[in-house]
Amino acid sequence: MASEIRRGRREASEIGRGRREASEIGRGRREASEIGRGRREASEIGRGRREASERGQRVGERLGEGGERRARLGEGGERRAREGREWEREDEREFDYGEKSEKGPKMWGKLKKEWEACNNGEMQSPIDMSHERVRIIQKPDKRHYKLCNATVKNRGHDISLQWHGDAGSVLINGTNYPLQQAHWHSPSEHTVNGRRYDMEMHMVHLNENATNKIVVIEVLYKIGKPDRFLSKLIRNISSMIDKKDEVKNAGMIDPREIKIGSRKYYRYMGSLTVPPCTEGVIWTINKKVRTVSRAQVKMLREAVHDYAERNGRPLQPKNKRPIYLMAPDDTA
Residue 21 has what pLDDT?
53
C-alpha closest to that of 286 among 212, 207, 214, 222: 222
Q: CA–CA distance from 91 to each of 79, 83, 84, 87 (Å)? A: 18, 12, 10, 6
Distance CA 140, CA 125 (A): 23
| Partners of 196 in beta bridges | 191
* DSSP assigned state of 146: -
Cβ within 8 Å of residue 66, ≥6 positions away = none
- What residues are annotated to the active site? 157
Residue 89 has what pLDDT?
30
Residue 29 has what pLDDT?
54
Taking the whole predicted model, whether its pTM rises above 0.85 is answered as no
Domain extents for the chain?
1-92, 124-326
Residue 67 has what pLDDT?
44
Residue 185 has what pLDDT?
97
- Over the chain (332 residues), the average pLDDT of each successive run of 10 is 51 52 51 52 53 50 45 40 33 80 95 97 95 74 96 95 98 96 97 96 97 97 98 95 94 96 89 97 96 96 87 95 81 49
Distance CA 176, CA 214 (A): 11
Residue 216 has what pLDDT?
98
Alpha helices in the chain (DSSP H): 2-92, 108-111, 117-120, 228-231, 234-238, 294-303
Alpha helices in 93-194 (DSSP H): 108-111, 117-120
Q: Domain 124-326 falls in which CATH fold?
A: Carbonic Anhydrase II (3.10.200)
Residue 330 has what pLDDT?
53
Distance CA 252, CA 151 (A): 9
